[in-house]
Structures are given as C-alpha cells and as structure tokens.
Amino acid sequence: MKKLLIPGMIVALLAAFAVTLLTGGAEPKLLTASFPRTVSLYVGSDVRVLGVPIGTVESVTPQATDVKVTMSYDADVSIPENAQAVIISPSIVGDRFVQLTPVYQAGKKLADGAELDMSKTSTPLELDEIYGSLDDLTVALGPDGANKDGALSALLDSTAKNWGGQGEQVHQTIRDISTLTGTLDDNKEELFGTAAKLESFISTLAENDSTVRDFNRSLGRVSTMLSGERGELSASLRNLAIAMGEVSGFVKENKQVLGSNIKGLNRVAKVLVKQRGALDEILRVAPVALDNLALTYNPQAGTLDTRANIGELVNRVTSDPATVLCGLVNQSDKNGKVCDLINQALPRPGTVPGGAQRVSGPRFDPTLGGLVEAKR
C-alpha cells in the first residue's frame, strides 16, 4: 500500500508544479465594488462569469451609505472595462454570489484594483421589499386611499356586471389573440418587409415634403373648383349618359350598315396604304399648286394671269409626237423598248409615212384667248 501511495504523491506534486509553471504563479487580480446592501453575501462567496467561478469575495465592509465588497479573481481571466457587478440570488434563502457581466470579447480590459461605484452594481429584490410594495399598494387602494369614497368598489362592481356571463366570449377572444400572435410570428418576415417598405415610402414623402405640399394644394384647388362647378358637372354627366344611350341605340339599329361602312373604310385604308407614296407627293406639291392657282386669277381685271404654254405643247405634239410620247413613257419604261416602238410607228418631224415631206396645214392660235375665242 505504501509503495502505491508514494508514487501517487509524487505524481500529484509534479502536477501541482506543472500547473504552477504554466500559470506563472501570477497573483490574482483585485476588484472593489460598492453595493447598497449585501444580504447573504459573505467572505468566500463565489465571483463568477456566466455562472463559472473565477474568484472569491475577500471582504465585506459596511460603510455609511453602502457596503464595500473586495473580490479577487484569476489573473488569466479578462474582464471588459465597462463591466458591472451583480449580486445573484439562486434561491430565496441561501448563499449568494457576485456575477461580473458582460463577457469579455474584445477591446480594453478592466485594470487590476479597479473600483465599481453603485451606478455599476445592482442587487436582487428582497422578499421584504416585495411585501412592503404589496402593503403600500393595499393601503393605496384601501379605505384611506383610492376607495375612500367607494370608487374602487364601484369599479369592481361595474366590472363584475359587465363581465358577468361573458366567460365564453372572453375565452374566444383570448384564443383569437393567440391565433393572431401565431400568424404574426409565422409571417414576421413579410410583416417586417412591409414595415420596411412603408418606412421607405414615408422617408421619400419626407424628403419631398415641398412637392407633396404643392400637390395637396393643387388637389385642394381642383376640389374647390369642382365643388363650385358641381351643378354644371352633374348636368354634363347627365347629358353624357343620355348621349351614350343614344349612341348605343343608334349602333344597335344600324350595326349592319356600320359593319359595311367599316369594311369600306378598311378597303379605303388599304388603298391609302398602297398609295402612300403618291399621297406623300400630293401633300408635298399640292400647297404650291393651289397657291399658284389662287394667284392665277386676277379679280380686278377678271382675267387669268398665267402662261399656260398650251401653244408650245400643241406645237411639240404636232411637230414631234414621238418625242413627247417617249418623254411620257420613259417615266415607267426604263429600258427604252417602248420608245423604240413609238419611233418606228410615228414619223419624224417634216416627214410622213413613206418618207414624203409633211404639208403644213392651217395653224390656229394656241393662246388662251385663241382657245376661248368664239367663231365669227
């Protein structure tokens, strides 16, 4: 037995030595905190972080208006600079411990020997304080308080009468509220998305407040104008209703004729589409032609002040019909075959078929006066 005990003691000593080497033998850090009271907190009580013990209470010293508690905790534990000390009561009776919160994650650390005033400490609510609060509430609602003139009794009596026999409805209301809560929980993403969109819309309105105000003022002016013209507007709507009824009756009575007219218009439209090039040319030259025609007539002299060149045209037709016809045909006949046929069919100027010279006949006056002159 002794042979086994000695090696075990050696191993324990080596383990303790190794722990001492690893921790470097650093002294624990100290922390002082001031609490308004320290019920059930004693020397040796735990100091914890997230419920894990990291140190102990070294001293509890009552002072004039508070209690000073000195604590020590492991040197390798990091506590944030903004830490708070809270006395935790795991049960109504029994020892309590000090919880340091929050957990250190990054940033500055609490220095060794730091002090926390009462603004950074808190204590649990004591049972006698709860009893005292209930006693104060009872006194406030009692015959010397709110119920001095029977107001509380009247309220309770009215409430009892109003709620009497409504248990089933109250139960159904509670169930409906539960269902509503579950529905909102299941659709919280959509609800929050809608709220976000609404917030964006309200922000847009706020950013364009002047524009929205101008729009509202314009809308108000329009509403005022319509209000002043409501009689005329009502009459117009009645007349429009009558006209629509007449149009509807006319369409029903003449639907066959209208159908045929629509078909005719369709054909006309197709023709216009096919002749859009010619229509374009007419629209381009017609204004100039109509203007020239209007300037032709002289209302003061009652004459047509124009040079028709009819004589030259007649002379060209009579003297060289082949050239005139070729000029007309060449607009559509680009290869010149038709013009060759015309030159073969019609004689050249000064000749007749067979090569004989043309005999000049009596000439007439090709001017406008000669054309319109009556025979004497």
Q: Can you give the pTM of this predicted structure?
A: 0.35
3-state secondary structure of 42: coil
Question: Amino acid identity of 276?
Answer: R
Which residues are paired to 86 by β-bridges?
99, 122
304 strand-pairing partners: 297
Spans of all domains in the chain: 23-124, 307-372
Reduced to 3 states (helix: H, G, I; strand: E, B; else coil), residue 284 is: helix
H-helix or E-strand spanning residue 97: strand 97-101
Tokens encoding 271: 């023709």
pLDDT score at 357: 44
In the DSSP assignment, the letter for residue 80 is B
The CA-based dihedral angle spanning residues 152, 153, 155, 156, taken in that order and rounded to the nearest 10 degrees: 120
The amino acid present at 353, given as its one-letter code, is P
Q: What are phi and psi of 289, to 5 degrees?
A: -65, -45
| Pair of tokens at residue 220 | 């108000």
| pLDDT score of 318 | 66
Crossing angle for the helix pair 188-207 and 209-228, nearest 10 degrees?
A: 80
Neighbours of 242 (CB within 10 A): 10
Q: Do the bridges between strand 97-101 and strand 84-88 make them parallel or antiparallel, or are there none, so unpaired?
A: antiparallel
- Going residue by residue through the chain, which has 376 residues, state the pLDDT in tens, using 9 for 90 and above: 445 556 556 655 665 555 555 555 578 999 999 999 888 888 999 999 988 999 999 999 999 889 999 999 999 999 999 999 999 887 766 678 999 999 999 889 999 999 999 999 988 877 777 888 888 888 887 777 777 777 778 888 888 888 777 888 888 888 889 888 888 878 878 888 888 888 888 888 888 988 989 888 898 888 888 887 888 888 888 888 899 888 888 888 888 888 888 888 888 888 888 888 888 888 888 888 888 777 777 777 777 666 666 666 666 666 677 777 777 776 666 677 777 777 777 765 555 444 444 444 445 454 445 444 545 4
Q: Cα-Cα-Cα-Cα dihedral of 317, 323, 329, 331, to 10°?
A: -110
24 dihedral zone (left: phi>0; alpha: psi -120 to 50; beta): left
Task: Name the CA radius of gyration of the chain, rounded.
Answer: 57
CA 75, CA 70: separation in Å to the nearest integer? 15
- 194 residue type, one letter: T
pLDDT at 83: 92
Q: What distance in Å separates the CA atoms of residue 73 and residue 258, rounded to the nearest whole number? A: 102
